[in-house]
């Protein structure tokens, strides 16, 4: 991580955990292992971030943190599971923008619970930029050139994603909307098969996580045209940010912890303190960096406002793009 970026994040962390009036959790809490439920399968970026955080919370809270993968229904199964758990602070959800901020619009009335009502935010953990990659299906050597190819194709040019409503799908839909062009979405069941088709030239482009594309880019199978954060990333310093072509564009995959609504405030405060303190430890920072992520500390109240803003932000993107649930 660049030194100035690290100093900036550490200043955010210090501000996030500085609270002399922090409420105290009940004596002896937690008195049993914690469950950290994930809405995705093992092996992905969310899984790696959760396991790294779980190890630090084990040390901070004195109880094991058992990571439990509950994929399905676009992340809704995990959300429903945690929302229905006892509100005692021992069942946690690793939430991100899909299940928490996008699904209320994507699923509409078919959503069994409203995450904004059924869950309480505890703390933001991390964020990671995504990467726009292309293969032999396009000759574009820059984002501007790719946009012009989409413009000339008048909607017939395709792009891949890990699935309807996934972060990569939303990021590409927003990019095309802000560029004033159209493309045809081809969803896959996960990033790997989509990237395989892009590398083979069957589909021109895809936005995916940095770890998922790094090896393919290094091997010459894919070309990285842009990163979706508002600045370049150190591991791909020669790759521009989308914002250098489309000012104001910024999309990252984010990860935060939520608990069932009604969890007592002192317990949420203890969890918040443990999470934010963990984000300052070098081993956790290194674990996040290996996944292309950086600490993104936010206390619960600020995290709640962030979630509401994300929900408002993505609703018109989903509606304009005509994105529907699988």
Q: Is the pLDDT of residue 45 over 80?
A: no
Strand 252-260 to strand 119-134: parallel, antiparallel, or no bridges (unpaired)? Answer: antiparallel
3.40.190.10, 1.10.3720.10, 3.40.50.300, 3.30.70.270: CATH of 129-244: 3.40.190.10
Do the beta carbons of residue 52 and residue 288 sit within 8 Å? yes
Distance from C-alpha of 326 to C-alpha of 307, rounded to nearest angstrom: 23
**pLDDT, the chain, mean:** 88
And the tokens for 103? Answer: 């699904």
**Domain residue extents for the chain:** 3-128+253-321, 129-244
Reported as a single tens digit per residue, the pLDDT across 301-318 is 999 999 999 999 999 999
Reported as a single tens digit per residue, the pLDDT across 174-204 is 999 999 999 999 998 888 899 999 999 999 9
**Same fold yes or no, 3-128+253-321 and 129-244:** yes
And the tokens for 191? Answer: 């990033």
| pLDDT cut 70: percent of the chain above it | 91
* CATH class label, 3-128+253-321: alpha beta
User: Going by C-beta distance under 8 Å and a sequence separation of 6 or more, which residues neighbour residue 172?
Assistant: 132, 159, 161, 183, 185, 205, 206, 207
Question: What pTM did the predictor assign?
Answer: 0.83
Q: Is the pLDDT of residue 263 over 80?
A: yes
Q: Which of 8-17, 47-56, 181-190, 246-255 has the lowest mean pLDDT?
A: 8-17
* Crossing angle between the packed helical segments 143-153 and 167-179, to the nearest 10 degrees: 80
Do the beta carbons of residue 58 and residue 281 sit within 8 Å? no
And the tokens for 96? Answer: 């991100």
Q: Which is higher by pLDDT, 173 or 165?
A: 173
- Give CA angle at 170 (5, 103), nearest 5°: 105
CB burial readout 156-172, b (16+ within 10 A) else e: ebbbbbbbbbbbbbbbb
């Amino acid at each position: 991580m660049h030194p100035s970026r690290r100093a900036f994040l550490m200043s955010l962390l210090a501000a996030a955990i500085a609270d002399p009036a922090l409420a105290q959790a009940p004596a002896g809490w937690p008195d049993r292992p914690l469950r950290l439920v994930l809405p995705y399968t093992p092996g992905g970026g969310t899984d790696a971030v959760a396991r790294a955080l779980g190890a630090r919370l084990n040390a901070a809270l004195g109880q094991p943190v058992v990571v439990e993968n509950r994929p399905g229904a676009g992340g809704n199964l995990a959300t429903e599971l945690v929302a229905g758990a006892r509100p005692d602070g021992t069942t946690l959800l690793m939430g991100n923008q899909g299940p928490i901020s996008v699904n209320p619009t994507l699923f509409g009335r078919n959503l069994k619970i409203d995450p904004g009502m059924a869950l309480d935010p505890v703390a933001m953990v991390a964020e990671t930029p995504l990467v726009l990659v292309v293969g032999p299906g396009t000759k574009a050597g820059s984002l501007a050139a790719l946009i012009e190819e989409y413009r000339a194709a008048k909607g017939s040019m395709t792009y891949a994603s890990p699935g309807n409503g996934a972060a990569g799908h939303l990021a590409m839909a927003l990019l095309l909307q802000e560029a004033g062009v159209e493309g045809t979405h081809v969803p896959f069941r996960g990033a790997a098969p989509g990237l395989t088709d892009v590398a083979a030239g069957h589909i021109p482009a895809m936005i995916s996580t940095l770890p998922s594309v790094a090896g393919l880019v290094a091997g010459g199978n894919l070309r990285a045209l842009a990163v979706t954060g508002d600045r370049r990333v150190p591991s791909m310093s020669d790759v521009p940010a989308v914002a250098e072509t489309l000012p104001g564009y910024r999309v990252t995959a984010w990860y935060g912890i939520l608990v069932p609504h009604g969890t007592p405030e002192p317990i949420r405060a203890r969890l918040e303190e443990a999470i934010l303190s963990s984000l300052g430890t070098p081993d956790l920072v290194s674990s996040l960096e290996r996944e292309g992520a950086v600490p993104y500390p936010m206390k619960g109240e600020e995290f709640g406002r962030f979630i509401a803003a994300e929900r408002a932000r993505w609703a018109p993107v989903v509606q304009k793009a005509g994105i529907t649930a699988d």
